[in-house]
Amino acid sequence: MTGVLHGSCHCSAITLTVAHAPETVSECNCSICRRIAALWGYFDPADVTVDGDAGGYQWGDRSLTVWHCKSCGCTTHWTAADHHYGRMGVNMRMFAPSVLAAIPVEFTDGASF
């Protein structure tokens, strides 16, 4: 799948635009990812546009902020606290099922980190 993709949270208050589909998505079993059941696509932040009023959550070493819609609660993406870190995660479950179905899923053992 090539080209720009558009997604949103359930209520569409948060919209996401990515420049291209990721090659894979990551299913992580860390303490937060296993609870929110996200499938993460990783991108250069310059390739992602997020519009809307998201709420953020940090835990542990506070290296990441996990963002969610303040209205419907869907987890939409994460960003690094270090603005020089060249990667962010986008929850590809916010995109059409046909988009997600075309992307292989890889398991990440984040619980072991």
Span 2-57, pLDDT tens digits: 699 999 999 999 999 999 999 999 999 999 999 999 999 999 999 999 999 999 99
Report d(CA 22, CA 2) in Å as an integer. 9
DSSP β-ladder status, 48-51 and 54-57? unpaired
d(CA 34, CA 8): 21
DSSP conformation class of 53 = -
pLDDT(1) > 70: no
Q: What average pLDDT does this structure show over 57-67?
A: 93
pLDDT band at 60 (very low <50, low <70, confident <90, very high): confident
Q: What is the mean pLDDT of the chain?
A: 95
Q: Please name the residues in contact with 2: beta carbons below 8 A apart, sequence gap of 6 or more.
A: 20, 21
Residue range 86-109: mean pLDDT, rounded: 96
Q: Say if residues 87 and 80 touch (Cβ distance below 8 Å).
A: yes
Residue 60 in contact with residue 3, Cβ under 8 Å? no
The mean per-residue pLDDT over the stretch 101-108 comes to 96
More confident residue, 9 or 83: 9
Whole-structure pTM value = 0.94
